[in-house]
Structure 1
């Protein structure tokens, strides 16, 4: 008997999610609705772009490209993937740098150390805030909260050497034993 009630309930739900032509209509989660609002209200610097590799029907997964116009990383091109959960904005998006970069706040696997993606995330923050935070990492890298401890130590003790290492890495060279792809 219980199984019959579940089947009837499922049929009612499917009927609610079908339009007048009989086509299935996907119900958007609160997270998708908020993300749609965030994306339509984006106010990005000219050096940042957003793209949807899976098409506009998959807003929850997208890429942001940052091309810094100043600082150590000037003229570089860095791509980040964003995965947004259905409980957004109550949970921060998962952000990964897919461009291998010599940076104190981004490790060689692409993990990003940005406080608003971890302990300082609050639902009032949005995608625009995260993108500006990432952009800020390239204009002012922070050696005090590193993921790449070697890069942080060089930045702290020898900024000129750090700049040389960044240029070498962005040009497709080696820093120590690590090879970097060209991103200029």
Structure 2
């Protein structure tokens, strides 16, 4: 598939003041608790706690420095002991997908940042760049990934897919063809899908925020 470079010409609104600070405090708390547990287990004669991989250390740094769009939240369903698996929820406030709620899972390898995170969309969505199995077509998750990129970059890339879906780089070829040939029909199909209904023979669960 042909992919262009991800543009960053758009201005994104950031979290309310203090949002990144809250995430930083959360990561510091996780580290303090981990150190306390290590001390306690060593005092009890247990084996030392496993050392964190370089990928985990880099991920902790990336998360503590997140500067998310206001439409985006991050959560850790497995708790503080597993920061390598987390979910990102995007609620677009403009474009075709306005009012929708879309959840992505991130699985980060110990080889991060040399390996890109694995990202899938949990929400079934009618989108030219996301297929019905949740695979995401985003250049920086594949051939354009570089170790200098980070989780924040990926989240902004996902956000961009909802503000400017790209019919030239499709995973869902039917959706891409409709966007290319009949944008008004594409808009109708997206609204039908996120409101809960059929697009052709495919049924989509409602994913509109209240």
What TM-score results when the alignment is normalised by the length of structure 2? 0.78
1:181 aligns with 2:193: no
Partner of 1:136: 160
SS of the equivalent of 1:19 reads: helix
* Structure 2 unaligned regions, length at least 5: 1-40
**Aligned positions of 1:124-163 closer than 5 A:** 124-163=148-187
RMSD across aligned positions (CA): 0.9
SS of the equivalent of 2:106 reads: strand
SS of the equivalent of 1:150 reads: helix
Paired residue for 1:96, among 120, 142, 147? 120
Deviations along 1:91-136, one digit per CA (max 9) or x if unpaired, are 0000000000000000000000000000000000000000000000
- Supply the distance in 2 between the matched residues of 1:132 and 1:22 (Cα, whole angstroms): 46
1:22 aligns with 2:45: yes
Partner of 2:97: 73
Number of residue equivalences: 167
Paired residue for 1:49, among 59, 73, 78? 73
Deviation at 1:22, TM superposition (A): 3.0
Deviations along 1:16-69, one digit per CA (max 9) or x if unpaired, are xx7344343121000000000000000001100000000011000000000000
